[in-house]
Amino acid sequence: MPRSSTYEAVLDASLFTPAQLQPTAVGRLAFQAGTRWMRDHVCSHRTLVHEHRVGFVLWSWQLEYVHPLRFPDADDAVVEVTARIRGPRASQLEVEMTLEGPAGVAVRTRAASVPLRLSGDEALSGVPRPLPDALVAAFHDDEIERTAHRSQVRALRAGFERDGEQLAAAVSEFRVHRHHCEVADQWYWAETLGFAAGAREELVLKYGKAVPGLRRAQAEPIRRVDVTWLRAGQLWDLLQVRTTAHRLGEGLAFVHELGLADDEDGGPYAVVVERI
């Protein structure tokens, strides 16, 4: 049976909107959970980076809201996290987390990261490499999956464009400041969820009167978030977020493309899909 780490997370008001746990807060909890599993069963994050010279760059992430959990509901929640290697050449690390409140599992996340061989510089620069054999050996047989994880973002976007109705589109800008970054002055991936949420709110504020259906996005909880990261933003980058809102049946979906504001032809750095 795959190993897990289980522990209690103390909840405070900063983690929540009026309706649910904030996606950015869930991202931070999920990153901490994966780091804890690695420490418990393989090695600490610090040892991984500074002794093994191995890093991980997040490529794909999914967040599913399962049962309601609001700030008045509980003082704490139970976190359970598992991890496994995926891909034919140990080319991915997949981490799954659940956070359970009084009503049952409140959120479920799945993250797929690509291992890097770090150069040893302060920027923690590196190139993709399979996980070294010495680290692979720390995983049990049932924690190794030969098939690779696949991101759903491209298929989701195609489905919205094919089967949905576009309601509105807008462009927002955000600058990456140091509080958005991790130790190497590169954006911390969970903060991109906040940039996307901010872009969604800006779009609704701009078009909510003309398209009343959009107002649901300010009042109703998010059901699911799917993200893929293609490149990393750096300290003081000015980001441009191109957001489109789609109606698909009874649901709403928002697609956010994040890229450099002065590099429109350079392609997106990340794509975030929110469904309500």
In CATH, what number is assigned to the domain containing residue 259?
3.10.129.10
In contact, 223 and 275? CB cutoff 8 Å: yes
Q: Rg for the chain (alpha carbons), in Å?
A: 19
Average pLDDT of the chain to the nearest whole number: 96
Q: How confident is the model at residue 124 (pLDDT cuts 50, 70, 90)?
A: confident
The answer on pLDDT for 24 being more than 80 is yes
How far is Cα 189 from Cα 106, in angstroms, rounded to an integer? 22
Domain boundary among 119, 145, 171: 145
- Same domain flag for 136 and 157: no
Q: How confident is the model at residue 94 (pLDDT cuts 50, 70, 90)?
A: very high
- Same domain flag for 20 and 133: yes
Q: Residue 240 contacts by C-beta under 8 Å, 6 or more apart in sequence?
A: 171, 172, 173, 258, 259, 260, 261, 264
What is the tens place of the pLDDT at every residue in 218-261? 999 999 999 999 999 999 999 999 999 999 999 999 999 999 99
Q: Residue 155 contacts by C-beta under 8 Å, 6 or more apart in sequence?
A: none
Domain boundary among 122, 145, 168: 145
Angle at 237 between CA 236 and CA 240, to 5 degrees: 135
The answer on pLDDT for 264 being more than 90 is no
Q: Residue 250 contacts by C-beta under 8 Å, 6 or more apart in sequence?
A: none
Domain boundary among 145, 166, 201: 145
The residues facing 244 across adjacent strands are 169, 255
Q: How confident is the model at residue 54 (pLDDT cuts 50, 70, 90)?
A: very high
- Same domain flag for 138 and 23: yes
The answer on pLDDT for 119 being more than 90 is no
- Same domain flag for 101 and 197: no
The residues facing 80 across adjacent strands are 6, 98
The answer on pLDDT for 122 being more than 90 is no
What is the tens place of the pLDDT at every residue in 139-188? 999 999 999 999 999 999 999 999 999 999 999 999 999 999 999 999 99
Per the listing, tokens 């289980």 go with 6
Mean pLDDT of 123-142: 91
- Same domain flag for 13 and 125: yes
Domain carrying residue 119: 4-145
Q: Residue 179 contacts by C-beta under 8 Å, 6 or more apart in sequence?
A: none
Q: How many domains does the chain have?
A: 2
- Same domain flag for 79 and 124: yes
Residue 1, SS3?
coil
- Same domain flag for 43 and 119: yes
- Same domain flag for 138 and 14: yes
What was the pLDDT predicted at 120? Answer: 78
- Same domain flag for 269 and 176: yes
118, amino acid identity? L
Q: How confident is the model at residue 265 (pLDDT cuts 50, 70, 90)?
A: confident
How far is Cα 138 from Cα 94, in angstroms, rounded to an integer? 15
Between 53-62, 116-125, 149-158, the lowest mean confidence (pLDDT) is in 116-125
Rounded to two decimals, the pTM is: 0.96
- Same domain flag for 141 and 157: no
What was the pLDDT predicted at 117? Answer: 94
Per the listing, tokens 């009503």 go with 103
- Same domain flag for 158 and 226: yes
- Same domain flag for 17 and 137: yes
